[in-house]
Structure 1
Amino acid sequence: MAEPRNRYSTVSLTLHWLTAALVVTQVLLINAHEANEDTRLFIDLHKSVGLTILVLTLARLAWRAANPAIPLPERAPRWQKLAARATHVLFYVLLLAMPLVGWAASSASGREINFFGLFEWPLLPIGGGRDVARDLMDLHETAAKALYVLIALHVAGALKHHFIDRDNVLHRMLPFIPRRP
C-alpha cells in the first residue's frame, strides 16, 4: 500500500496561498476605495483582481479534481470531517459566485471592465441598469460577509489542529512548520 501524502503539492500550495493573498488584496482595495471615493482606480483594480480570483478558482477546481484533498486524520470526529468538507465546498462556491456576481453587476450597469489596463474584459449580456446592478452588489457584499465567516472558521480549524489536536494538518499547507512525529 502506498504511503499517504503528508503535504499538498507545490501547485496546490501556490494556488491556495495566491488566492488567499488576492482575497486580502480585495479587502484592502475596497477599504481604500471607501476611504477615497473620488477615485475609480481602486474599484478598477478590485474588478481585475476579482476576475483573476475567478480564473484561479477554476484552475484550483481542475487541479483538485485530478489531485484529491488529503483526508483529515483518521481520529478526527465525523462532524469535523463534514464541517471541513462543507467549509471547502462553500469556499469554492463563494470564490466563484462573488466574481461572477460582480461581473454581472458591472455588466448590468454597462460599466466596462479594464483588466489591469491590458484589455477590455467582455461584459455579460445582462440588462437592467442601476437597479439590477445595485441588487447584485447587495448580493456581492453579503457573500463577502459569508466569506469572512468562512475564513475565520478555516483559520480557527487550522489552529485547533495545530495547537490542540497537535497533528500535522497545518504542516500540509505550511511546510516550513516542522512535521510532528
Structure 2
Amino acid sequence: MAEPRNRYSTVSLVLHWLIAALVVAQVALIAAHDATEGPLSREFVNLHKSVGLGILVLTLGRLGWRSANPAIPLPPQTPRWQKLVARGTHVLFYVFLIAMPLVGWAASSAAGRDIVWLGLFEWPLLPVGGGRETAGRLMDLHELAAKGLYVLIFLHVVGALKHHVVDRDNVLHRMIPLIPRRP
C-alpha cells in the first residue's frame, strides 16, 4: 500500500496561496476605491476587475488540478460532521471564486463598461444587456457573495487553527510546510 501524502503538491500550494493573496488584494482595492474619488478611484476599480478575472482563471486552473490531484483526506479520527463541513466549505469556495468574477464581469458587460486587463488588452464583454439597472442588480449580488466569501474564509481559518491548536494534528502542515510536522 502506498504511503499517504502528508502535504499538498507545490502546484496546489502555489495556487491556494496565490488565490488567497489575490482575494485579500481585492478587499484592499475596493477599500481604496471607496476611500478615493475620480480617476484614482476608477484605477482601483479597473485593477479590481483585472484581479477578479485573474482569480477566475486561477480558480478554474486549480479546479482542473484538483480533479487530477484529489484532496488529502482529513485524519480518520475527524468526526463525520466536520468532514462534511470541510467538504461543503471547499465546494462553496470554488462556487464563490468562480461566480463572483463572472457576476462582476456580467455587471460590467451589462453597463457597457470596458475591462482592460492590467492595462494590457481589452477583455471581451459578455453578451449581457439591461444597462445600469441590470448592472446594479448584479453588483448587489456580487457584494452579497463577498459577504458569503468572508464567512467561508472565517470558517476555513478557524477550522485550520482548530486542527492545529486543539486536535494537534498535521492538517495545517499540509498547506503550510514551514510548520513542523508532528509525529
Same-fold call, TM > 0.5? yes
Identity %: 77
Consecutive unaligned residues of structure 2, counting only runs of 5 or more, are: none
Shift of 1:114: 0.3
Please state if 1:64 is matched with 2:66: yes
Partner of 1:128: 130
One-letter amino acid matched to 2:43: L
Residue in 2 aligned with 1:166? 168
Matched with 1:143 is 145
Residue matched to 2:20: 20
- 1:80-134: CA deviation from partner (whole Å, max 9, x where unpaired): 0000000000000000000000000000000000000100000000100000000
Counterpart in the other structure of 2:2: 2
Cα-to-partner distance string for 1:113-172 (whole Å, 9 max, x where unaligned) = 000010000000010000000000000000000000000000000000000000000000
User: Using the alignment, how far apart are the partners of 1:3 and 1:74 within structure 2?
Assistant: 15
SS at match of 1:40: helix
Partner of 1:156: 158
Amino acid at match of 1:24: V
Q: Give 3-state SS (helix, strand or coil) of 2:122's partner.
A: strand
Instruction: Provide the rounded CA distance (Å) in 1 between the counterparts of 2:118 and 2:78.
Output: 44
Instruction: Write the distance in 2 (CA, Å) between the matches of 1:69 and 1:20.
Output: 17
Q: Deviations over 1:8-35 (max 9, x none)?
A: 0000000000000000000000000000
Residue type of the partner of 2:29? L
Residue 37 of structure 1: how far off its partner (Å): 2.8
Residues in 2 aligned to 1:77 and 1:37: alpha-carbon distance in whole angstroms: 50
Partners in 2 of 1:50 and 1:100 — Cα distance?
A: 9
Q: What does 1:71-90 align with in structure 2 at a 5 Å threshold?
A: 71-90=73-92
Give the 4+ runs in structure 1 shifted more than 4 A.
none
Looking at structure 2, the residues matched to 149 and 65 of structure 1 have their Cα atoms a distance apart, in angstroms, of 25
Paired with 2:37 and 2:117, the residues of 1 have a C-alpha distance of 20
Equivalent residue for 1:45, pick from 44, 47, 52: 47
> TM-score scaled by structure 1?
1.00
SS in 2 for 1:176: coil
User: How many residues align structurally?
Assistant: 181
Alpha-carbon RMSD = 0.4
What residue is the counterpart of 1:114 in the other structure? 116
